[in-house]
Structure 1
Amino acid sequence: MKSSLSIISEDKISKVTIENGELISFKKDNQEYIHQKGDKGWRNSDDEMFPVIGPTSKNNFRVHTKNGNAVLDQHGLLRELEYRLISSDENSAKFIKKYSKNTLVNNSKFPDKSTEEKLYWPFDFIFEKNFTLENEALNIEFIISSEKGMPFMLGYHPAFMLSDTGKETLQTGKKIITLKDVYKAGSNAFPVLETDKIILKNIDKNDLEITTVGFHNFMLWTEVDNMLCIEPITQYTSYTDQKFSEQNMHLSAGKNSFSVKIKTI
């Protein structure tokens, strides 16, 4: 059963709507910035990629860890789990997912897009997603609790509404990226590496500045003019001979925190 809630900034100018832990609306001055579910482009508004990023089919859907092999599909298994609301007030909301090691999880890509019916991961983890709406920005924090040394990658996958003109651009430092650049990258997604800030230059409303802590990279994906996914990621795997093993992943400190700030400018 779907359940939604809204949080409002203290100045009452910004409003965020969250449905089962998914960010489905961010409005400021009555302007919508989030891709709407049901519109062309992508079926969701936001999602997470954990504990791996990218397609695992080249590894026969196996990921090697010190606790044995895992079976994971593209972008891991976190998105197959359901968020539970922990707390909320006028300006904030906290959600959580818990996973017990080696629990079999149904793969929503099976059988149409995958040969693997069940997924599993050989580590316990707790994944928290916390929203805080301030007057100037929306803050989203991710907290991962697990045993020390657990390998992982993390990606956040929000989709932003565009004007449907194809004229939006992005800026990181002095570099300008066009939607044509993103289209050319295709399913690999366009890499924007070693940066914690990117600006979406909108045509029909204020620009968006997206800053992160802990990710250090972005990738960009779209196939249409009306939306764009701007995805903070810990690692970019599409253009490499990435082997899905813990030697090529981050190792947990026991508790790891990452954050994303979305600000109109």
Structure 2
Amino acid sequence: MTTTISNSILKASIKHAGAELFSIKDNQNNEYIWEGNPAFWGKHSPVLFPIVGTLKNNTYTINEKEYHLPRHGFARDMDFELIEKMENKAIFSLKSSEETLQKYPFEFELQLIYTLNEDALELEYKVINNGKEKMPFSIGAHPAIALPDNFEDYAFQFEKEENLKYYLLENDLISSKTKVLETKNNLVPLNYELFKNDALIFKTLESKSLTILNNSKPYVKVSYNDFPSLGIWTKENAPFICIEPWLGYSDTDENTGDLYKKEGILILDENKDFSAKFSITIL
């Protein structure tokens, strides 16, 4: 099943499976979200919950009991319920169940709230702790922006001029190795060589938005005020770029496994909720 919301400028379509955005089109029928061709990558914009990235040995502990979670968690692979629908807004919900409690022993509700505001799609993540103990979690976005022209015709521009230190992945875990992304006037020309070692992982950034340019012309802007970390990723020869606002990231090799002590984890008190928003603006 799918749901579509629209306004006078944009139309966005969301699958109920994973509450995953799979299309943003303007009123000229131009598509801005990657089509999901599995020859490159079979997803479009999955939600990452209750972890972002990879756990050491795909394992963590709560009160000394072991649990297992795959990379980026399970929410992206589960069916959400559409609980509210308006012309320009849709709210999807995933609640804990016997299935999720086997992997993640917390009672929760995760809502994905999609809203079209003029030339932007806003996505709000709302996490509700329905249990009686503190709930550790991470959440992140993974939208793939379609790049229909030559990949090297594109560049991205950070909001601020800053030292763009990123961490390298080794065996899907965050290593201690870092590099600095070189910029000129805050611009980084795109080329596949940037991603030869997988994603670029920025633990902290002063910039709270990133603009993709096509032949120096603004194309799409991703704004992420509520997210301290960012991943940027693509695959060799793939015609898309993922701009990924994150609250959390992969384990390091030194991680103890205790989810409450994981670097970058959020802790939500019992009967409390948390929300964070990001937006994709068509320029």
With normalisation by structure 2, the TM-score equals 0.78
Structure 1: where are the runs of 5+ without partners? 106-117
Tell me whether 1:93 sits opposite 2:76 in the alignment.
Answer: no
Instruction: Give the direction of change, closer, same or farther, for the CA distance of 1:23–1:161 in structure 2 (3 Å limit).
Output: same
RMSD (CA atoms): 2.4
- Aligned residue pair count: 243
After TM superposition, give the deviation of residue 39 of structure 1 in Å.
Answer: 6.3
Q: How does 1:83-232 map to 2 (within 5 A)?
A: 83-100=80-97, 103-104=98-99, 120-146=103-129, 147=131, 149-167=134-152, 168-172=154-158, 173-174=160-161, 175-177=186-188, 178-180=190-192, 182-186=194-198, 189-192=199-202, 193-194=204-205, 195-203=207-215, 206-223=218-235, 224-232=237-245
Instruction: Give the direction of change, closer, same or farther, for the CA distance of 1:122–1:183 in structure 2 (3 Å limit).
Output: same
Matching residue of 2:249: 236
Q: Is the 8 A contact 1:24 1:35 kept in 2?
A: yes
Structure 2: where are the runs of 5+ without partners? 162-185
The share of aligned pairs that are identical, in percent, is: 25
Q: Is the 8 A contact 1:41 1:222 kept in 2?
A: no
- Taking the aligned partners of 1:242 and 1:179, their CA distance within structure 2 comes to 32
Tell me whether 1:246 sits opposite 2:243 in the alignment.
Answer: no
- Taking the aligned partners of 1:128 and 1:23, their CA distance within structure 2 comes to 14
After TM superposition, give the deviation of residue 133 of structure 1 in Å.
Answer: 0.6
Q: Tell me the amino acid that sits aligned with residue 197 of structure 2.
A: A
Q: Is the 8 A contact 2:209 2:225 kept in 1?
A: no
Instruction: Give the direction of change, closer, same or farther, for the CA distance of 1:82–1:243 in structure 2 (3 Å limit).
Output: farther
- Taking the aligned partners of 1:182 and 1:149, their CA distance within structure 2 comes to 39
With normalisation by structure 1, the TM-score equals 0.82
SS at match of 1:60: helix
Q: Deviations over 1:133-190 (max 9, x none)?
A: 111311111100014621111111111101351212212123333333542232xx11
Q: Deviations over 1:96-138 (max 9, x none)?
A: 00013xx335xxxxxxxxxxxx961111110000111111311
- Taking the aligned partners of 2:75 and 2:11, their CA distance within structure 1 comes to 26
Instruction: Give the direction of change, closer, same or farther, for the CA distance of 1:190–1:241 in structure 2 (3 Å limit).
Output: farther
Tell me whether 1:34 sits opposite 2:33 in the alignment.
Answer: yes
Q: Runs (4+) of structure 1 moved beyond 6 Å? A: none
Matching residue of 1:74: 71
After TM superposition, give the deviation of residue 60 of structure 1 in Å.
Answer: 2.8
Q: Tell me the amino acid that sits aligned with residue 191 of structure 2.
A: L
- Taking the aligned partners of 1:212 and 1:240, their CA distance within structure 2 comes to 28
After TM superposition, give the deviation of residue 66 of structure 1 in Å.
Answer: 3.7
Q: How does 1:252-263 map to 2 (within 5 A)?
A: 252-253=268-269, 254-263=272-281
Instruction: Give the direction of change, closer, same or farther, for the CA distance of 1:256–1:179 in structure 2 (3 Å limit).
Output: farther
Matching residue of 2:173: none
Q: Is the 8 A contact 1:84 1:96 kept in 2?
A: yes
Q: Deviations over 1:44-97 (max 9, x none)?
A: 1111111112222xx332212248432211111222321111111111111000
Instruction: Give the direction of change, closer, same or farther, for the CA distance of 1:165–1:238 in structure 2 (3 Å limit).
Output: farther
Matching residue of 1:61: 58
SS at match of 2:196: helix
Q: Is the 8 A contact 2:51 2:249 kept in 1?
A: no
After TM superposition, give the deviation of residue 204 of structure 1 in Å.
Answer: 9.9
SS at match of 2:104: coil
